[in-house]
Amino acid sequence: LRSRVAELQEEMNALNSYHDTLVPAASLPSEILSPIFLLCQSMERHPIGSLAKETLRWIYLTHVCRHWRDAAIGCATLWSYLAFSKPEFTEVMLQRSRTAPLTVAWWR
């Protein structure tokens, strides 16, 4: 039964990859996607001193397809804005920001 589940999972992954190739937005180059992702991220930022906390809704863009995920992960600047309202993501964001200059926001 486990081997059958593994086979079906592999087939589902292959079908998802094929489906991604049929979606026009999935073929946009990273050079176009990265600025779009950065714009989406910046729209969620609040001024320092604002009572509103950061959200990480822009991360859903990484769930659209493998290409978008790879493009987002490859954009170090996207991960360099650290909002400590979600400390569970801090380590991942630090890793993905690589050598990009960091911006840090902290809320109590």
Mean pLDDT of the chain: 87
Quick: pLDDT tens for 62-85: 998 889 999 999 999 999 988 766
In a domain, 36, yes or no: yes
In a domain, 40, yes or no: yes
In a domain, 79, yes or no: yes
Quick: pLDDT tens for 40-67: 998 887 655 555 556 788 999 999 888 9
In a domain, 7, yes or no: no
- Supply the range of the domain harboring residue 71: 28-105
Task: Report pTM.
Answer: 0.76
**Which residues sit opposite 104 in a β-bridge?**
82
Number of domains in the chain: 1
In a domain, 70, yes or no: yes
Structure tokens at 27: 């073929």
Predicted confidence (pLDDT) at residue 108 exceeds the cutoff of 80: no
pLDDT on residue 39? 95
